[in-house]
Each structure stands twice: as C-alpha cells, then as structure tokens.
Amino acid sequence: MKPLVLTFAATGEATAARIVEALGAEQVPGSAEAVRLAFTQGRPIIGVCAAGILIRVLAPLLGDKHIEPPVIAVSQNGAHAVPLLGGHHGANRLAREIAEALGGSAALTTASDERFAHALDDLPDGYRLEDRSAAKHVMARVLSGEALQVAGDATLLADAGYPIDPQSSLTVAIGPETSLVADLVIRPRTLVAGVGCERGTDAAEVIGLLEATLAEAGLSKMALAAIGSIDVKADETALHRAAAHFGVPFRVFSPEALAAESHRLLNPSSIVAAEVGTPGVAEAVACKAGDMRVPKHKSRRATCAVGEASAPIDAAKFGRAVGVVHIVGLGPGDPQQRSADASAVLLQAEDWVGYGLYLDLASDLENGQHQHRFDLGDEEVRVRHALELAGEGRRVALICSGDAQIYAMATLVYELLDAEGERAVSESARRVIVESHPGISAMQAASAAAGAILGHDFCAISLSDLLTPREAILSRLEAAAEADFVTAFYNPRSRRRLDLIEKAKAIFLEHRPGTTPVVIGTNVGRPEEHVRVTTLAAFDPTEIDMLTVVLFGASTTRTLTRGDGRTLAFTPRGYERKHS
C-alpha cells in the first residue's frame, strides 16, 4: 500500500507535499483516527509531526513487532526522518528515501542500517526471504566481521555494501530454484504464472495445477510476482482466488497484446485463437514476463505456463489490474458514524464517483483522488461512469449516503451489469470486481437518535413515484398499515410531490390510534441534525423535506420522557411476556 502522510499543523504542509511527490504517497489531515486506521491496515505511516504524537496515539495498539508497519516521524522542516516502528519492515528504508528527497538526515538506530543500505530482513521490493528467521543469525555474523559467499547474482548485496567473499563459510543463495541450499535463501520475484481456464473452473483445480507445475519444475512459489490471464477472464473467481492463495496480484492482457507473442509460443492452438483472438493464453502471458521457463501444463479444465524475467518484476507495470467498484455507504454523514471499512476504501481508491454533496461528506479523507461529481438526478450516468472507470483497471469508490443497499446505487450497479442492448456497459466494465461496504441507514440513525422505534418488525417504503408507480406505493401503504409494521418513509416529500406523505398519514390513522408515536429526523448525523418525536395525529407533513426520514410507530410503540426532558420512542419486542 502507498505510504500515508499526515500533518498535524499547517507548518508541516510544505514538507508533507514534498514527501508525497517524492514517494508517490497519499496525504490526509492528521487525526488519531486516521493514524490508528492506517496502522491496523498495516499501512506505512509518515507523520510530519513530533514523534510523541505518533507514540501516544499508537501506544495502545502495540504488540507483535514482527507485524507492525513502518511508522516514521519527520520534523516539520524536513531536516530529520526518525523511524519509530517497523525498522526492518521498511521504515529505515523509507526514512532514507525521505531524507534523500528532503536533503535531511535519517536517524537510524539499528546496527545493520547504520552500515548497510538495507538489512537482510528488510530487502528492497521484489525480493523475499525463504526463512525470515535465518536473517537475524546471518546479519549478526556479518556485523561481527564475516563476509558473504553468494550463489547467484550478488549485485543486490554488493550494492548495499555487504562484504562479498567467494571463500566465506557464510552462504547466501539468490534465485527461484527450490534446490538452493544456504544459510540464507533470497527469492527474487521474477516468475509469472500465465493461466487459462474454462468458465467456472473450481479454484482448487487452478491452485493445484500451479502448485504441481512449480514443484515439478523445481521453482519456489515465493518467487512468483503475479498471475496473469486474458482480459475476458477478469471476473473469473478461480483466478482471483489463486492469486490470493499465492499472495500475488492478478493481472490481465488484451487478446491483441497476447497475440503479439504468438511467434514465441511452444504450444499454439488454432481453436483458442478462433475463440479468444490469440493462439495461446498461458504461454503468451508467460512470455510477457521474459523467457519461457515452463511451457504449458494442463489439468482437466485449466492450463498454466511459467515465465521468468531477468530482474524482479514490478507487478503494477505488468499487464493491467482488474478494476474494482467499491459501493460505499457513508452513513448519515458524521465521520464518526462511518465504518472503518468504508474509510479504508475511500483512502485507497483512485477515483471517487457520486453526487457532489456525498463527496463533500467524505472530504476529510480526500488525498488526491480523482473526483467525478454528478447532479442528484444523474444516478444511472454516475453508476455507468464508475463501472467504465473500473473497466480501465482503476479502483473506484461509488459513494452514497446512508447505506448504499437501501434506495441507493448498489442495485443499479447490478442492474447495469445485467443490462443488454442500449443500456449495456462495455465488456471490460462487465468484468470488474464489485464490493459493497454498508453504512448506517437513515432509518437506523433516526431510530437511534430518538430511542428504539425499530425495536420490532418494521418495513421501509419510498414515497418517490419517479421510479415506483403511484398505485404500487398506495398499495404498500395499505399493507404496511394493516400489518402493523413500524414503517420508515424515505423520500417523503419533494417540491412537486406533496400529497403521498399526507395520504400515508390518513391511511395509517385508519389502522392505529392518533397517539401512535412518530419520529421525524432531518439531517440525521450531520451538524444540522434535528430529531423529534410527535404523534400520528399531530404529525404535520408540511414541515418535512427530502432531507428528512419519517418513522411511523406500530400500535405497540410507546414513548418515554427522560429526566433531561427528552421524549423517546421505542417498540417493545415482547421481553415482558418472556419474563412473565
């Protein structure tokens, strides 16, 4: 993940901006919540602030040093970068990079980093240790004066300042072969597995084929940099699960890009060419990495091949990512009522798409995302835009208030994915990943602010007749009133639609007494919040608007006046009968 840069004072803004530019990091305003969230996600943290601020915020979360992410404090003038945590998980290296970019100094306190460009257990991106525990022993012997005998390309260690001696008894082996034996084995991530499969192939079959192919070839799975396939397989669950199993990204290529490798394929297929536009998928992806290390192997429904590059592969530049649309529910609007999951997604997304007001409600997490703002009535336009952006391989957050599953954009996403003809989205958009991140709904927030009116059976009805026929709304009102549900009304009133909420009141009065509690919540969860409890008889439909949610109680709903004078509404579930 990109490092997160936080500032706690305006005097650190200029330094933070230089760090962001130098590292390609992301910046957010400093807050304890943002620091803790990044830490729990394992995200590198760079605070342009006093070290004590980060220490006090993170102290309750400290535990296993082996899994803590890098945490660095940078002085506001950029003169000093101090690794506080995760020294051997990238903090020392990041501190050096920051110091170099700012013309300052890195205050490194670990012995290995004082002498060498990186410790043996903090290798540069693209390298992994076969056995991390062995690094400490080897590092101790190096610090005691021993040199390293290196099997493989020694450039990585020589450039970092390690002494190299082909006669030394302290051995290091660098390469993807499982046959390597040494005191410390380093795996360069130079391998790519190209995979093809039939639609709906079980993930276990793909994983088993890859495991067996690598084992037969004597190659370590720790040397894998990516799994790749053709772009029509972008939504193939088995391939995503296989990539997750091996802990590598899943990348895709167009048929044209793969067809460019046709002359290098060892097992081309005219049948495959006729079906997908390239005579091979697995071997073509392998060739994109460099040389063909393992030609095509087959299982019943899948194929794979392995390619090898001459240097570690940057997976971010290999093919393209599979795009994802995150459907994010912000909750009522207050950042404290937003889920940690939603906040994490908003921070990591490249693009935000939504109604302008909703994007403004997430502005505390803004850190350079491309914002795509739409008017309130452009629902289909903005959902389509989000899907097409993701079709380009981008991480997109489609932002909604409340819960996106309730009268919001989640259902429209799936509707467009299923659409044909003029409403159909592009093929690449149809293949994107879709993930939902629920938020607190308006009816939940209003109920909580006014007691517990949703304590028993309830339903929700939208009074907007733009998308639902008026007759259907009236029928549902009758049914809800007769069934004695607590009923939440969304979109209760607009400038041109005035009477449906009035009809709702009249219908419900036919089935329950005028003393039935009613909760009215306006701008719930926002600074302008106004929540009050009245009765069905006293309820005035003219005082509500589109920023209001209304909840009619059931016949069993009661009110309670607390010592502070507040009147609250609640609907008993029946525990009194259970107790008796």
CA 31-37-41 angle, to 5 degrees, is 150
Predicted confidence at residue 461, as pLDDT, reads 96
Q: Give me the count of residues in the chain.
A: 580
Cβ neighbour number for residue 56 with a 10 Å cutoff: 11
The domains of the chain, with CATH numbers, are 4-109 (3.40.50.11220), 127-188 (no CATH), 192-317 (3.30.420.180), 323-440 (3.40.1010.10), 446-579 (3.30.950.10)
Measured between alpha carbons, how far is residue 478 from residues 468, 492, 498, 506, 555 in Å?
16, 16, 18, 10, 15
CA distance 500 to 492: 7
The residues, ordered by sequence, that sit 6+ positions from 570 with a Cβ below 8 Å of its Cβ are 451, 452, 453, 455, 557, 558, 559, 560
- 488 neighbors 458 (Cβ within 8 angstroms): yes
Least confident of 104-118, 286-300, 372-386, 525-539: 104-118
Cβ neighbour number for residue 161 with a 10 Å cutoff: 10
Q: How confident is the model at residue 88 (pLDDT cuts 50, 70, 90)?
A: low
- 212 neighbors 120 (Cβ within 8 angstroms): no
Q: How confident is the model at residue 107 (pLDDT cuts 50, 70, 90)?
A: confident
Of the candidates 182, 164, 162, the one whose C-alpha atom is nearest the C-alpha of residue 173 is 182
Predicted confidence at residue 334, as pLDDT, reads 82
CA distance 275 to 230: 12
Predicted confidence at residue 141, as pLDDT, reads 93
Of the candidates 131, 10, 25, 125, the one whose C-alpha atom is nearest the C-alpha of residue 76 is 10
CA distance 507 to 511: 7
Q: How confident is the model at residue 114 (pLDDT cuts 50, 70, 90)?
A: low
Least confident of 34-38, 315-319, 409-413, 451-455: 34-38
Residue 90 in this model has a pLDDT that exceeds 90: no
Q: What is the 3-state secondary structure (H, E, C) of 137-206?
A: HHHHHHHCCCCEEEECCCHHHHHCCCCECCCCCCEEEECCECCCCCCEEEEECCEEEEEEECCCCCHHHH
Predicted confidence at residue 416, as pLDDT, reads 97
User: Average of pLDDT values for 375-379?
Assistant: 87
β-bridge mates for residue 82, sequence order? 73
Least confident of 148-152, 184-188, 541-545: 541-545
Predicted confidence at residue 110, as pLDDT, reads 66
Tokens read off for 504? 């709702």
**Residue 353 φ/ψ, nearest 5 degrees:** -125, 135
CA distance 531 to 354: 26
**Which residues in 551-563 are b (16+ Cβ under 10 Å) and which e?**
bbbbebbebeeee
User: Average of pLDDT values for 339-344?
Assistant: 89
Q: How confident is the model at residue 366 (pLDDT cuts 50, 70, 90)?
A: confident
Predicted confidence at residue 16, as pLDDT, reads 93
Cβ neighbour number for residue 515 with a 10 Å cutoff: 14
Q: How confident is the model at residue 93 (pLDDT cuts 50, 70, 90)?
A: confident
Predicted confidence at residue 113, as pLDDT, reads 60
Predicted confidence at residue 198, as pLDDT, reads 94
- 194 neighbors 165 (Cβ within 8 angstroms): no
β-bridge mates for residue 324, sequence order? 395, 433
**Residue 326 φ/ψ, nearest 5 degrees:** -95, 115
Tens digit of each residue's pLDDT (9 = 90 or more) over 238-291: 999 999 999 999 999 999 999 999 999 999 999 999 999 999 999 999 999 999
Least confident of 47-61, 198-212, 504-518: 47-61
Which residue do the tokens 């393209």 mark? 320
Measured between alpha carbons, how far is residue 527 from residues 131, 340, 531 in Å?
53, 21, 12
Straight-line distance from the first to the last Cα atom of the chain, in angstroms, rounded to the nearest whole number = 56
Q: How confident is the model at residue 111 (pLDDT cuts 50, 70, 90)?
A: low
Helix (H, G, I), strand (E, B) or coil at 286: helix
Of the candidates 198, 229, 389, 244, the one whose C-alpha atom is nearest the C-alpha of residue 319 is 229
Tokens read off for 27? 């910046």
Residue 115 in this model has a pLDDT that exceeds 80: no
Strand 558-561 relative to strand 567-570, pairing? antiparallel
191: buried, middle or exposed (CB in 10 Å: 19+, 13-18, 0-12)? buried
Q: What is the 3-state secondary structure (H, E, C) of 407-462?
A: CCCHHHHHHHHHCCHHHCCCHHHHCCEEEEECCCCHHHHHHHHCEECCCCCEEEEE
**Residue 13 φ/ψ, nearest 5 degrees:** -60, -45
DSSP 330: -
Predicted confidence at residue 526, as pLDDT, reads 82
| E strand intervals along 260-311 | 291-298, 302-308
Tens digit of each residue's pLDDT (9 = 90 or more) over 282-314: 999 999 999 999 999 999 999 999 999 999 999
The residues, ordered by sequence, that sit 6+ positions from 375 with a Cβ below 8 Å of its Cβ are 355, 356
Report helix, strand and coil shares of the chain as percent, to nearest 5.
40, 25, 40
197 versus 121: the higher-pLDDT residue is 197
Predicted confidence at residue 112, as pLDDT, reads 61
> For the chain, what percent of residues have pLDDT higher than 70?
98
- 413 neighbors 383 (Cβ within 8 angstroms): yes
Tens digit of each residue's pLDDT (9 = 90 or more) over 215-235: 999 999 999 999 999 999 999
